[in-house]
A = this chain, B = another copy of it.
């Protein structure tokens, strides 16, 4: 079993075939969730898996999966996979690699005539990228999807309903996709890194120790609208100065005190917003991430205190609106260990790191032993046609996934 390897040519052929579906002229793919291209990719996956003799099913949330059953009716399932949808004009590796590698892992096990005590299942989740509802498929499977979330899809309700119908399902059915956690033994996902830490460190595999939690706020700095000519400089209460100070100091605070965290101020709106009026209200979005729940809390406290400090110094006011909190998802030690053993068995260099992006794995971590690993993405390009993972690394993805699944299947 230690010598088992995937059929790398077969897997790379799959990856290339899949990249033709929704292909863009630049070399990426455009497969927003539930678009015609996304449905074509599911159909390709379905036909491919059926041709191999796997049982294929689509649940109410549109998640499509293929199973290699072990013959024991009460057996639990080791799951792997990722997603086939892309961001608009995205790359050919994000999500696709995890599904193709999973399919290849199942084929390799089937061809090996190994007898495992568990079912294997490779999953393609619906709308990981959030064309409609971020992580929709994995939210549905883990029981986190709600009628409310389904009622306010980003792309509009009428369009959402139409695209669900095109996929052969509807909102009501989407709520039926939750699974019994007891039926699932473990989950593992392979994904391109979306950064360049592996490339720079010269490592083949990044073993994810946790997926960051994300907190987001609107901070409304409040000043006073005044005539920008007649009001002396030292009499102004310029709300924009609050934003300017906050943007600069929040970055320094996070880099100095939370080196493993990140912060972004991505939107700013100023009112009344005229050349000749001192800003009365300046609104800035604040988003920060950390893989450690305690540190995420400490960041929140430090950043909101910073906002209070800034307004005290500047003589302004501030209103804080909490927008969202996603708790960090630590990866399960069993799966982390299985990935590490797989790397060691295959002689592949590895490093441990956090995922700074959200993934379906963070939902799966709520109901089962879950883990994830990355392979290098040259230049760190993400959500871009420039995504580029060399064949060798794609093959590593398949082999490490295979041996991780085997390890998880064999564990108690």
Contact = CB atoms under 8 A, between A and B. Distances in A.
Contact of A229 (B254, B262, B269, B282): B262
A157 interface: no
Contact of A265 (B240, B264, B272, B382): B240
A340 interface: no
A112 B194 CA distance: 86
B276 A264 contact: yes
A306 interface: no
Please indicate which of the listed interface residues A229, A241, A357 has the most CB atoms of chain B within 10 Å of its own CB.
Answer: A229
B275 A264 contact: yes
Contacts of A262: 228-229, 231-233
Contact of A274 (B226, B247, B266): B266
Interface size on A, as a range, is: 35 or more
Contact of A287 (B197, B234, B276, B279): B276
Contacts of A275: 216, 264, 266-267, 285, 287, 323
A193 interface: yes
Contacts of A263: 233
Give how many copies assemble into the complex.
2
A261 to B, nearest CB: 9
A5 interface: no
A16 interface: no
Contact of A380 (B231, B274, B289): B231
B230 A287 contact: no
A243 interface: yes
Interface in A270-288: 270, 272-279, 282, 285, 287
A383 interface: yes
8 contacts: A195-B230, A226-B382, A227-B382, A228-B287, A230-B357, A233-B254, A234-B255, A243-B247
A235 B234 CA distance: 36
Contacts of A228: 262, 264, 266, 287, 289
Given A247-B240, A248-B244, A287-B276, A229 B357 contact: yes
A205 interface: no
A333 interface: no
Contacts of A235: 380
A277 B266 contact: yes
A13 interface: no
Nearest to A134: B276
A317 to B, nearest CB: 18
A231 B379 CA distance: 11
A90 to B, nearest CB: 11
